[in-house]
Amino acid sequence: HHHEHHHHHDCDCDGSHHAHEEHCDCHEHEHEHEHEHEHHDCDCHEHEHHDCHCHEHEHHHEHHHHEAPFGIETFLYYRRGPFDMNKFDYFVTKQWPKEILRAKGLCWFEDNPDMSCIFEQAGEQKQLTEGGYWYAAAPPQEWMEIVAQDPKARDDWDEKYGDRMQKIVFIGKHLDKHHLIHLLDNCLASE
């Protein structure tokens, strides 16, 4: 629903911290619930019924406790295959989108498949450090024991890559996610 609604009744569902009366429950929820109040003083847009449905819109109001302020958003890049170090280096030094404010995550490279790497970026600073060996680098009987103790490792286990993965979180302003995915996918080593 893309309607802009202008509140001119006593329920301004804009997430500001005003004293909410009992009859209108339109405050800081994730808008997943149904308000079943039979009150006729709050229909936060042109609904035929009067039960205060303040959740069927695109959040054009100030809900900055759920979405970070000023258009800042978070994006998780997740793949299983290895990066090519040269391509990744080129991306980081030459193609890095200026909208990215912060990035951090795990990655791995074709030429050193046993070692996990931690990639971090804040502002102009970017660094890649070794993060320890992947479980998959251990002999099979060892990782069987590891997986037995760590159910999450079992959930993340891939037949081909074991626990190796690219899992990098990007925080940025008005990120073009499709472009970012395209750039990162281009860093993957060709099979």
Distance CA 157, CA 41 (A): 54
191 part of a folded domain: no
pLDDT at 71: 82
110 and 53 in one domain? no
Total domains, the chain = 2
Same domain, 46 and 78: no
Residue 141 has pLDDT above 60, yes or no: yes
Would residue 190 count as lying in a domain?
Answer: no
Q: Report the alpha-carbon distance of residue 108 to residue 94 in Å, rounded.
A: 20
pLDDT tens digits, one per residue of 89-135: 999 999 999 999 999 999 999 999 999 999 999 999 999 999 999 98
Type of residue numbered 47: H
Both 177 and 85 in a single domain? yes
Calculate the CA 47 to chain-centre distance: 33
User: Strand 166-173's sheet: what is its strand order?
Assistant: 72-79, 166-173, 100-109, 112-122, 125-133
- DSSP annotation of 23 reads T
* Position 155 confidence tier, pLDDT thresholds 50, 70, 90: confident
- Judgement on whether residues 53 and 89 belong to the same structural domain of the protein: no
Decide if pLDDT at 188 tops 80: yes
User: 127: domain CATH number?
Assistant: 3.30.1220.10
Q: Is 138 a residue whose pLDDT tops 80? A: yes
* Average pLDDT in the chain: 75
Are 24 and 113 within one domain?
Answer: no
Can you give 53-99 as a three-state secondary structure string?
Answer: CCCCCCCCCCCCCCCCCCCEEEEEEEECCCECHHHHHHHHHHHCCCC
pTM: 0.62
Q: Which domain holds residue 59?
A: 1-63
Which pLDDT band holds residue 4 (cuts at 50, 70, 90)? Answer: very low
> What own/partner pairs with CB < 8 Å and gap ≥ 24 does 8-16 have?
9/41, 9/42, 9/43, 10/41, 10/42, 11/41, 11/42, 11/44, 11/52, 11/54, 13/44, 13/54, 13/61, 14/61, 14/62, 15/61, 15/62, 15/63, 15/64, 15/65, 16/62
